[in-house]
Structure 1
Amino acid sequence: MSIRNIEVCLCGVMSLALLISHTNAGAACPENTRSVDVKGKIYNNAITLGSTLGTVHLVYGKNEKIKCGILGSGGVGQDGALSFIHTIVCDDKFDTGINNEIIHSQLTLNTSGSGVFQLCDSGNPEGGVYGAFYETSVPLFGRGVFQNVAGGEISIEGSINCQFAVDMDFNGYICLPSR
């Protein structure tokens, strides 16, 4: 990562985006779908330039809890712009109803945002950057409990440290078929 003293004002943008996502959650889902709340925490590490790997503690709907892994692929631009495809795969067992096959739920997200990053002290063995960021994720694909996901928006606030540990809190909604 070769980001040098990138500074982007996030305060107003973060507050406005969080307000909009919660205000429009139900109205933003397409016809014949329902809004399902999602929230949780993500703990991951940057493993190579542009790749992250970690865990997700996800709560969806009426307090349904699920543990998942997360793989991120993307990167950070010189201007602090973030762009990732995040794929979440969970430890549940979802019955497809076809030939007794069981699958694990999956949710793929298109994630973009911005951050404020600074170079780490040159004495740090890992080097890199540290800072805070804000992202918005939009569902692209789902399997299992996320089958036929048809939209939504998830707001993410996170931080990265000089050892490339990335911690995130998220909150939002996804649009799933009406029952």
Structure 2
Amino acid sequence: MKTNIYFVRHAESNYVPKDDDFYRPLSEKGKNDVKRVTDFFKDLNITRVLSSPYIRAVHTVEGVSKDKNLDMEIIEDFKERKVANRYLNDEEFRNFVKHQWNDFDYCLEGGESLNQVQERGIRALNKIIRKYHNENIIVGTHGTWLGVILNYFDEKYDYNFWKTIKMPDIVLLSFENENLKFIKQIEV
């Protein structure tokens, strides 16, 4: 028996500098892409829908939750990493991201390192695998979070891979017990 976890990186959202990242809504394109995500899962036997608490992640997978008549479970540790206590302009953010992917311990004041994000993510993932073993699960989450989780299992998932993660994107991880059997990126 195996546990299949479909990680769904959220659809495109409206980014407004200095807005609260938690409440960032989906863009019109993102809202349209939610239908594609929902349609992809229509014929699959999904038993659980989990999500980061961030609104853009919740809204990306809620169509599946409604279609399958499943309650959505919010998992705090599936949230995106905190960057800093201050706003970064585009250039600062690009430099910050490169630095983080080169040094998983690097973080700004009030922010999280990629090692911290990876540790909380793997801890939460292992709890889910033990709690819901032999199920087909969807997890609504974020690009950096997804990137560092994949990197935990295989270092080929690095900064260059992270730059290719789409909005939305789906990556399947299949486990036997707690042992990863394969990773498959899925086109939607």
TM > 0.5 fold call: no
Larger radius of gyration: 1
Higher fraction of strand: 1
Q: Which structure would you say has the larger RCO, counting Cα contacts within 8 Å and 6 or more residues apart?
A: 2
Greater fraction of residues in helix: 2
